[in-house]
């Protein structure tokens, strides 16, 4: 079993674009998103599921435009989301009429898509590939918990599914000031015995730790920043504890997209943000711009996901977590 | 946009293994499956969803054993299924403790997995990769239609979700008598305006045609066999009509896994078999053994999928289809 997979040549992230909801726009990173809702997160659509699809369509449209590419240049889109049968992606990206591979990694989907897009570009199978993902708070509440109208109560370890979509265009052709993916590590599903669907952070943290330990013990160097997807307060603290215990203290360099996206004091989001869109919009906005500006030089991004379904929870199964790793450097 | 992607070197299918339900075992290909249910398709589990997971676990276990490989040799599993959040795969393959990338291509998942496993092996990113998929009639009925206990009536264009799982082990190392994937073509989602959830064949056929036309018009040679995943009677006839109209008559070389798996006269399965497991068990059994025996020399396999969800149908959306192509040759 391989741990670190070094790409034969770097895969450049030549553009990224982000679409966010109103709550996300009100948060600390709000100004860095390319587009945000002004119509209560409907994005002009009559169902939440269609709104989520529309976010993906807009994100990819903007990413293509920023890259100066017509649709006809993209050889493959990797896309996925949290909705049953990944339908937000299936419908949202239909109008591009492009080769399409659906992926499912729960909230780790942004990392999975970037990992696969980088792989096919680096190996020369594709010239340009796109990675797109999304989540929408209202469609996720309907899918996994209760429709918003039910007004269910939330406990302190609950995370808030981010309304957002991020799209990334990748190519092996070097482009000025574009950060590059240099190596990847594919996560393993880890069942740490958590069965509480209101504590995803605890379910995902052991998987993120498994990935990072495999990475460091296979010779991966410590980066400037270890950026996890959506562990939130609970999961981030568990991750740092496990890593310290295993001799790889990351507490000084760890950041989590789920912690960055909302203001803990001012926005009542409990344990932080989550969802495929959470890491996609943070990575696609402030992290990309900092890498481009060389304010950040070397990021190990671990997208984290909880691989359960509402039915698996009802049937009493535990919640396996997974963490996929993508190393992104500002200069290669 | 690329059409045909020629792999830098062939990716050998070094083993495959299939698990099937009782109805599938009673069909014309029954004897060719490696394992079949003898306990009413429960596979010893107390829910249909767990039964489906168990089929995947057994299929991959057998494929590894046939390949003579320990788990520790596999660098990545690509797996997916029809169940919400791909949970049959997530839980079914958990115990292997291997790098895992979830995919979703509806019933085209066997082709998508094989295409990706071949790509990462061919390009040297992985030494061995696995592609696993499944469907289970009872879990699919609960997911997409009505639980079996409701005894819903079926119309003539309905297909029967196959209870089955197939696993494939791929490597770029040449192995004796193993067929090889030489080139691939990634499908585009095609919305042909079909909104009848009881006529998946009609929704998928235009996508299979789009893929095949892109393939032949980009220089792909006619193979001995064009094998589609699960178009069934309705879809197969539509596909052959479209292809004839476009100047690529395939009627003499076309076969469909959904037509092969059940006996139309003796088994009351309406328009034929469907589901991720349908093409996986046909490709993984009789097609693989015929390729190994050189009775078949050159197969263009187009896995077909319908990218809807129950909710997208309830919301009045059409059913987009998709078809991913994998060319498999007996000798390379």
Structure tokens at A294: 């060389």
Interface contacts (A, B; CB < 8 Å): 189
What is the pLDDT, as a whole number, of residue A150? Answer: 86
Q: Convert the pLDDT of each residue in A219-239 to its tens digit.
A: 999 999 999 999 999 999 999
pTM reported for the whole predicted model:
0.98
Q: Do A105 and B104 touch (CB under 8 A)?
A: no
Residue in chain B nearest A125 by alpha carbon? B5
Q: Are A33 and A285 in contact (CB under 8 A)?
A: yes
Q: Do B315 and A47 touch (CB under 8 A)?
A: yes
At residue B93, the 3 state secondary structure works out as coil
Q: Do A85 and B106 touch (CB under 8 A)?
A: yes
Task: Kindly calculate the radius of gyration of chain B based on its CA atoms and give it in whole angstroms.
Answer: 18
Q: Convert the pLDDT of each residue in A304-328 to its tens digit.
A: 999 999 999 999 999 999 999 999 9
Polymer length of chain A: 332
Could you report the predicted ipTM of this complex, rounded to two decimals?
Answer: 0.98
At residue B249, the 3 state secondary structure works out as coil
Structure tokens at B2: 């690329």
Q: Which whole number is the average pLDDT over A158-183?
A: 96
CA neighbours closer than 13 Å in the CB half-sphere of residue A124:
9
Q: Residue A8: enclosing H or E segment and its boundaries?
A: strand A5-20
pLDDT at B146 over 90: no
Q: Do A85 and B307 touch (CB under 8 A)?
A: yes
Q: Are B49 and B212 in contact (CB under 8 A)?
A: no
Chain A residues with beta carbon closer than 8 angstroms to that of B107: none
What is the distance in angstroms between the Cα of A82 and the nearest Cα belonging to chain B?
7
Chain B residues with beta carbon closer than 8 angstroms to that of A303: none
**Which residue, B199, B178, B181, B126, is CA-closest to B6?**
B181
Q: Do A123 and B312 touch (CB under 8 A)?
A: no
d(CA B234, CA B272): 9
Q: Convert the pLDDT of each residue in B169-220 to its tens digit.
A: 999 999 889 999 999 999 999 999 999 999 999 999 999 999 999 999 999 9
d(CA B90, CA A76): 24
Chain B residues with beta carbon closer than 8 angstroms to that of A206: none
Residue B123 region by backbone torsions, left for phi larger than 0, else alpha for psi between -120 and 50, else beta: alpha
């Amino acid at each position: 079993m391989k741990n670190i997979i070094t790409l034969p040549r770097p895969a450049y992230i030549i553009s990224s674009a982000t679409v966010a909801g109103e709550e996300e726009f009100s948060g600390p990173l709000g100004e860095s998103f390319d587009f945000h809702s002004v119509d209560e997160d409907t994005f002009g659509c009559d169902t939440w599921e269609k709104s989520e699809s529309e976010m993906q369509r807009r994100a990819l449209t903007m990413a293509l435009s920023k890259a100066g590419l017509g649709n006809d240049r993209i050889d493959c889109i990797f896309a996925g989301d949290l909705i049953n049968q990944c339908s937000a992606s299936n419908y949202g990206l239909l109008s591009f009429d492009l080769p399409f591979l659906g992926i499912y990694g729960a909230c780790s989907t942004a990392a999975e898509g970037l990992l696969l897009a980088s792989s096919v570009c680096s190996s020369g199978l594709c010239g340009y590939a796109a990675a797109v993902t999304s989540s929408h708070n209202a469609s996720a509440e309907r899918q996994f918990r209760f429709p918003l109208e039910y007004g269910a109560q939330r406990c302190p370890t609950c995370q808030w599914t981010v309304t957002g979509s991020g799209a990334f265009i990748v190519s092996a052709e070097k482009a000025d000031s574009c950060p590059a993916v240099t190596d990847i590590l594919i996560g393993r599903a880890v069942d740490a015995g958590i069965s509480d669907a209101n504590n995803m952070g605890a379910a995902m943290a052991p998987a993120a730790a498994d990935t990072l330990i495999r990475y460091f013990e296979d010779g991966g160097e410590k980066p400037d920043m270890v950026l996890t997807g959506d562990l939130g307060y609970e999961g981030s603290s568990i991750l740092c504890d496990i890593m310290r215990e295993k001799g790889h203290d990351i507490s000084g360099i760890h950041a989590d997209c789920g912690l960055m996206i909302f203001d803990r004091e001012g926005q009542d989001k409990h344990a932080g943000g989550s969802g495929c869109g959470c890491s996609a919009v943070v990575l696609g906005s402030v992290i990309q711009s900092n890498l481009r500006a060389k304010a950040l030089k070397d990021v190990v991004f671990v997208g984290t996901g909880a691989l359960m379904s509402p039915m698996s929870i009802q049937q009493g199964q535990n919640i396996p977590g997974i963490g996929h790793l993508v190393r992104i450097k500002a200069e290669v």
